[in-house]
Chains A and B, each alone.
Chain A
Amino acid sequence: MFACIHVPDSRAAAAAHAALLDIASAFSPRVEDTAVGTAVLDIAGLDRLFGSTAELGQRLQEYASALGTTIHVGIASNPDAAVCTARGYPGITILERKTEAARLKDLDVALLPLDPETHATLSRWGIRTFGALAKLPAKELSVRLGQQGVHLNRLARGNASRPLRPRKDSQHFEEVMELDDAIETLEPLTFILNRLCDILFLRLRSRGLAALELHLKLKRERPHEPFIVPLRLPVPARNPRVITRLFMLSLEARPPGAAVCEVRLEAIPSKPRVIQNGLFVPLAPEPEQLELTLARIAGIVGKNNVGSPELANVHARDRFEVQHFGTNFGSIERRPHGALRMFRPPLEATVRMIENVPSWVGFSGMHGDIAAASGPWQSSGEWWKDRQWTREEWDVAVGNVLLRIYRDSRTKRWYAEGIYD
């Protein structure tokens, strides 16, 4: 048996064709790309997975409803009869064996793959339905229309026999929407992205895949080169809402700068993440939700101000990089230790010395006598670079406040670097 899924709306069919094929692939490994908006799948042996033919038809229609357009499902003993049924009848139609001719007889011959000349000939003969064409003798049709006439006669009877031509499996996941009127604001783009993400992730889900990387390409009116927004995720994602929101946050931070006339969304597929949470393992933020939270915070404080600090492998103070906060965790040994609060950038200070030991310090509205001082601790580095540094550090106590100050040996200036807290 064969099932055909057909999108009657020709405009929606072009947009949903790739998704339609993927939906069919979710049910059967043998899928034929028959025409734009039409896919045929071999359903032989699927009853053990999906139940009866009627149940399978129902499941197909339910699954395809995510496309947001009307779907017809036709089920018959051969591919061509299934296609004619899906194109001719709304909803789910099942043709039992030997009943094809009787069920198809009322359909319009325009549903058959006719060239204009043959269509005109049939009209001239007064042949307008499948039933009328099926009644014509095959030999006479062969004389007048050649082999095509015989083939059309079999199609009309519903007993054409041909093997299914399964398509080669494609791993290219891309959805495109061309816009009649270019859009200038981001708000309408949300709806378009939602739609494209829904279809793209439906396709991915139907193959048991997730997206690890996505590229949003916006075709602009001027300049013409596309505006590309890449999105690389720490873990494979399957939630279209999160992806839409991440793209919108990215676009809010860096808008396309011109009216958009085409939206193209491409996904690099990956196997979905499978995790088994331990009963006694502390919960960590859910990766997809975490990405969204990080993107939102980046919108508030800036992209470079949110993440995990990673210390640079140098002796210089306050050298670190803020890395993307991921979920690749580890553990290190525990060492209770005091903290230094940094003045970033360091505050220029005035220091008075008595016998080469700081005795008074003042900076940024704070000043006082130094009760105790530890130093100088001299350090230098990166003399081979432009940003070479050389300094002498002191730990000093001003009243109850413990400070770290240093003197830049090159400029001879004093700075307050931080407070021990």
Chain B
Amino acid sequence: MRAALLRAQLETALGERASSPFTDVDKRVWECVPSGIPTLDAAIGGLPRGAIVEIFGAPSSGRTSLALTILSTLIQQGEVCALVDGTDAFDPESGAAAGIDMRRLLWVRCRNLDQVLRSADLLLQGGGFGAVALDLSDLPQQAVRGVPLAVWFRFQRVLENTPTVLLLIGRESAAKSAASVVLRANLREAAWNGMSAVSHALLLTQTHLDVEVLRIRHSRCRFPKVHHDVRLHSCS
């Protein structure tokens, strides 16, 4: 009882500097791929292959931008990726602007959660993808919460010993303990360029994001929170 109390006190004290200081790091040697976000890679050492990586956050928190950056980075390395789009919300122009070669991106436009899970299952079973991203963001949260945890653990089992990263994008964490990496995105600030008095002289140029590392299994977390800037429009 005393040890548990001490542990809780230490966790509270270290909470700002290290996430899950007493969590055992998996002894397995993980092959990691860069996320394309240098600060995040420095914090967590890249994204582990054969594992579930979850990014969640509120609307405009930057979770989709982060996911597209990761997909773009993998595609730049010559991999083939898939995006299972829960509500047909993907904007191909944003994808192209993020540097995604569309010929290497398989886009599955779904209308409900059932289609998402069945398509994801087929893609993971088929294999050969560097990353499979499931966008659950705009799906009814009640339905996403209702997905049994066994589904995510089954996906995790399928992924094991494969080079695929399963990327979950959502409003809140869905895979829970089945995920190896859980990241929460927050919009810190939107940067408007120009004089604020005249709207057409303003340009939404950037968003500044905070990415919080909530869980990491494949290595020690060096920084629990990282910053990332995302360009939206440029004047040129």
Taking beta carbons and an 8 Å cutoff, which residues of A are in contact with B? 281-286, 289-290, 292-294, 296-297, 300-301, 305-311, 317-318, 320, 322, 325-326, 328-344, 357-358, 372-377, 394-395, 397, 400-402, 418-421
A242 to B118, CA, bound (A): 20
A337–B62 alpha-carbon span in the complex (Å): 11
The 8 closest A-B pairs by CB, nearest first: A285-B128, A309-B92, A293-B126, A421-B64, A305-B109, A337-B97, A374-B202, A395-B204
Q: Given A289-B127, A372-B192, answer yes or no on A332-B78 (Cβ-Cβ < 8 Å).
A: no
> What residues on A are CB-neighbors of B233 within 8 Å?
395
Q: Kindly provide the distance from the CB of A399 to the nearest chain B CB, expressed in whole angstroms.
A: 9
Given the known interface contacts A290-B126, A372-B196, the answer about A305 and B110 at a Cβ–Cβ threshold of 8 Å is yes
Q: Are B76 and A340 in contact (CB under 8 A)?
A: no
In the assembled complex, the Cα of A401 lies from the Cα of B60 at a distance in Å of 5
> How extensive is the interface on chain B, given as a class?
35 or more
Please report the C-alpha to C-alpha distance between residue A294 and residue B68 in the assembled complex, in whole angstroms. 22
- B94 at interface (Cβ–Cβ under 8 A)? yes
Name, among B67, B79, B204, the residue most crowded by chain A CB atoms within 10 Å (CB to CB): B204
Contact with A along B45-65 (1 / 0, CB 8 A): 000000000000011111111
Asked whether, in the complex, the Cβ of B90 is within 8 Å of the Cβ of A338, the reply is: no
Chain B residues with CB below 8 A from A329, complex form:
78, 80, 101, 103-104
B136 interface residue per 8 A CB criterion: no
B24 within 8 A of A: no
> Is A285 a contact partner of B126 (Cβ separation < 8 A)?
yes
Which A residues touch B105, using CB under 8 A? 308-309
- The answer to whether A344 touches B89, judged by C-beta atoms less than 8 angstroms apart, is yes
Partner of B119 from A301, A330, A340 at Cβ < 8 Å: A301
Instruction: List B contacts of A286 (CB < 8 A).
Output: 127-128
A394 to B202, CA, bound (A): 10
Q: For residue B74, which residue of chain A has the nearest CB?
A: A282
- Are B95 and A309 within 8 A (Cβ)? yes
Q: Are B122 and A296 in contact (CB under 8 A)?
A: yes
- The answer to whether B202 touches A373 (Cβ under 8 A) is yes
Nearest residue, chain A, Cβ from B209: A338
Q: Does B200 contact A (CB under 8 A)?
A: yes
Q: What are 18 A-B contacts with C-beta separation under 8 Å? A: A285-B128, A290-B128, A294-B106, A300-B122, A301-B110, A301-B115, A301-B119, A305-B108, A306-B119, A318-B91, A334-B99, A337-B99, A338-B230, A339-B64, A339-B94, A373-B199, A373-B202, A421-B62
Tell me if A341 and B137 are in contact (CB < 8 A).
Answer: yes
Q: Are A301 and B60 in contact (CB under 8 A)?
A: no
What residues of B have a CB within 8 angstroms of the CB of A308 in the complex? 102-107
Q: Is the CB of B59 within 8 A of A376?
A: no
Binary flags per residue of B177-217, CB closer than 8 Å to A gives 1, else 0: 00000000001001010101001101110110000000000
Is the pair A309, B102 in contact by a Cβ cutoff of 8 Å? yes
**Closest chain A CB from B110 CB (angstroms):** 5
Q: Which residues of B contact A305 (CB under 8 A)?
A: 88, 108-110
Contact A402 B190 (CB under 8 A): yes
Which residues of A are found within 8 Å of B18, using beta-carbon distances? none
Give A297 Cβ to nearest chain B Cβ, in Å: 5
| Residues of chain A within 8 A of B68, CB atoms compared | 337, 339
B11 in contact (CB, < 8 A): no
The verdict on B129 contacting chain A, using a C-beta distance below 8 Å, is: yes
Docked CA distance A307–B97 (Å): 19
Inter-chain CA distance A309–B98, complex, in Å, is 14
Report the minimum CB–CB distance from B95 to chain A (whole Å).
Answer: 7
Q: A373-B202, A374-B204 are in contact. Are A341 and B98 (CB under 8 A)?
A: no
Contact: B128 with A289, CB < 8 Å? Answer: yes
Taken together as a complex, chains A and B put the C-alpha atoms of A347 and B62 apart, in Å, by: 21
Cβ–Cβ < 8 Å partners of A343 in chain B: 89
* Contact (A282, B77) CB under 8 Å given A333-B99, A421-B63: yes
B42 within 8 A of A: no
- B17 contacts chain A at the CB level, 8 A cutoff: no
A-facing residues in B204-236 (Cβ within 8 Å)? 204, 206-207, 230-233
Q: How far is the CB of B219 from chain A (nearest CB, A)?
A: 22
Out of A374, A376, A377, A394, name the residue touching B192 (CB < 8 Å).
A374
The docked-state distance in angstroms from the alpha carbon of A307 to that of B122 is 15
Please measure, in the bound complex, the distance between the C-alpha atom of A374 and the C-alpha atom of B75, giving whole angstroms: 33
The reply to whether B89 and A342 form a contact with Cβ atoms under 8 Å apart is: yes
Hey, which chain B residues are within 8 Å of A344, CB to CB? 88-89
Q: Decide if B19 is an interface residue (CB 8 Å cutoff).
A: no
